[in-house]
Amino acid sequence: MASLFGKLKESLTDNIHSTSAPSSTESLRAATESLKASLQSTVQTLTASTTARVSADLDPRDAAELLPGKPENIAPESPAVAVDGAKPDDAATSEIPDRTDAEPVAWVDRRLTDLFDRVNKLLGDAAGETAEDERFRPKAPDTLEQSGLNREEIESLILKYLYTRGVASGRQVCLQIKLPFQIVEPIIRDLKFDHLLSLSGTAEAGDFEYSITDTGRDRARAMASECSYCGAAPVPLKDYLVAMAAQSIAKQQVSVEHLHEAFADLIMNKKMLDTLGPAINSGRGMFLFGEPGNGKTSIAERITRCFGSVIWIPRALGIDGEIIRLFDPGMHEEIASDKQGLFDLSGVDPRWVQIVRPTIVAGGELTMSELEVTQNKITKICEAPLQLKSNCGTFVIDDFGRQRMPVSELLNRWIVPLEKRYDFLNMPSGKKIQVPFDQLIIFSTNLEPKQLVDGAFLRRIPYKIQVPDPTEVEFHKILSIVCPHYGFEYDREAVEYLLAAHYRPVNRPLRSCQPRDLVLQVRNYCIYHKLPKRLSREAFDFAVSNYFSVM
């Protein structure tokens, strides 16, 4: 076995030396893929070489079911045979031998892990494809202590997972709870010795398939009654606080170039952009107010793009035995990864997920319960509040003033967090915890801010930005963008007719949403009358008569 690792290390060293001065990041990534291929071909040899060690380590009764031959074919010096063959008194007083070298799968994993660490150091950050501006990178734990968890928490996740799954291999359990094999494997082994799990078959690379026993099922059922969560192992709160401090939105700085790139698909005047820039850099909060239909929500949703970076968040948080789900696929945009289990060279803790800086939008449906930790009464799983999910990103309160809760109730809830930059959450157990309140809060409303809130709250929102009506020039530009999207050719003469006939005579205000809405009506008119898609005067007359019938 040692000679195989020597050959592997020699092969890897040759490959690394050949790429010691890559001309580009792509060439270095290609070298990394070559190393992965070398490792994959070698593991097949390692698996065959560990078969004898696996058979020597099995209990005779398990070997009779899983391996060909009879129990007497097992090596007599096997620790399992020695314990089972001893007298009761001897078994009670004898010391269980160290099984580190007798567990071939864990032994192989540890050797490969050490080798991967050395490869990572030689390849540098480019092998892990880290972003240039990445300030935080969660490191995969090597020991139970580094994970911040205790054995009982991991045992609970394993038993509940096998209780719902039925049968799974050791590595499938690791993929489910997102912990390294060298941490999970000893715990699975102990659960088997305690008759909570049993062997059901063999798996690839010297692994085994496990099923839950009747005793284990009773234990898992009792655990599930307290909390049925069996996903990724939780991350301790202290690690989350370190991550949020390192990735804080207040540390991000936006330039003119970033702003123009983020708003490239919107028509906005320069004065508006120059007002937005300093407000975004403040990292505090802002009011966006103006007439309906001028793009306040669209502006708010694009502000996070200015930061142009990604962050790491835990899939779940663990706080004094309670688990809070933080990662929400419906709100967070996960960065795709090509990690391949055992051959993941990134060294990243899989309990964390890399996402685009979040933009959470809550409208008139927002309730006070969504701003607190909520617990499902049946599953007993806790869900993070919206402001916690939006940390290091943007939280948009759309249609502010139209929520089902009174405005004063929302203001009283957030008046301290907006100034202190931290929040207090009440756990279902009654415990109160302090968490970061680190996001850009945007209040989007059709009303004047002074009509909604008092001076004390306005002082904590330093920027109040009005979104103006578009000019006629901007109205033309918006139409020139919208028309091709719906299959029309932009016709300046027809648009001038629209303005001269239906806007200027009645002093009708222009709105940014009107070009899209009117073109949609013209398209429906043409489809119904089987006419070619063209901006005609008759079609505009029809669209205006419907669109502005009660305005």
Q: So what's the pLDDT on residue 527?
A: 94
Contact 163, 224 (CB under 8 A): yes
Instruction: Give the residue among 331, 458, 351 at the shortest CA–CA distance from 395.
Output: 331
Q: How far is CA 201 from the centre of its chain?
A: 34
Same domain, 433 and 295: yes
Q: Are residues 243 and 228 in the same domain?
A: no
Mark whether 403 and 428 lie in a shared domain: yes
Strand pairing of 322-325 and 316-319? antiparallel
The domain that contains 224 carries what CATH number? 1.10.10.10
* Predicted pLDDT of residue 81: 35
DSSP-derived 3-state class of residue 269: coil
Amino acid 419 reads: E
Same domain, 97 and 118: yes
User: In the block, which residue shows the tokens 């505090």?
Assistant: 284
Q: Which residues pair with 538 in a beta bridge?
A: none
CATH code at 384?
A: 3.40.50.300
Rounded distance, CA 420 to CA 514, Å? 41
What pLDDT, on the 0 to 100 scale, is given for residue 284? 76
Domain end among 183, 206, 233:
233
Kindly state whether residues 334 and 358 are assigned to the same domain. yes
- Among 315, 349, 59, 25, which residue's Cα sits nearest to residue 183? 349
Q: Which of 107, 86, 82, 112 is nearest to 97 (CA)?
A: 82
Query: Percentage helix, strand, coil, to 5, in the chain?
Result: 50, 15, 35
Range of the domain at 158: 150-233
pLDDT at 31: 56
Q: Extract the residue ranges of the chain whose pLDDT is less than 50.
A: 1-7, 9, 12-13, 15-25, 49-105, 122-133
Decide if 64 is inside a domain: yes
Cα 22 to chain centroid distance, Å, stands at 32
Is 527 in the same domain as 444? no
How far is it, in rounded angstroms, from Cα 22 to Cα 25? 7
Tokens encoding 525: 């008119």
What is the model's pLDDT at position 117?
Answer: 58
Are 36 and 183 members of one domain? no
Query: Is position 505 within any domain?
Result: yes
Q: 321 with 429, same domain?
A: yes
Specify whether the CB–CB gap between 85 and 76 falls below 8 A: no
Shared-domain flag, residues 361 and 493: no
Domain tally, the chain: 4
For residue 135, tell me if it sits in a domain. Answer: no
Cα-Cα-Cα-Cα dihedral sign, residues 247, 249, 251, 255: positive
Q: Is residue 139 part of a domain?
A: no
**Structure tokens, 136:** 């935080």
Whether 138 is covered by a domain: the verdict is no
Q: What is the pLDDT of residue 110?
A: 57
One domain, residues 220 and 258: no
This prediction's pTM = 0.73
Inter-residue contact 198 to 211 (CB < 8 Å): yes
pLDDT, tens digit, for every residue of 282-302? 877 888 998 888 888 888 888
Pick from 262, 384, 257, 414: which is nearest to 324 by CA?
Answer: 384
Question: Is residue 141 situated within a structural domain?
Answer: no
Q: Which of 128, 163, 183 is the last residue of a domain?
A: 128
End residue of a domain, out of 444, 466, 488:
466
- Residues 305, 330, single domain; the answer is yes
CA atoms of 284 and 381, how far apart (whole Å): 31
Give the pLDDT confidence score for residue 264 in this predicted structure. Answer: 84
Same-domain status, 201 and 256: no
pLDDT digits (tens, 9 = 90+) for 199-215: 988 888 778 999 999 99
Residue 389 in any domain: the answer is yes
Domain membership of residue 142 (yes or no) is no
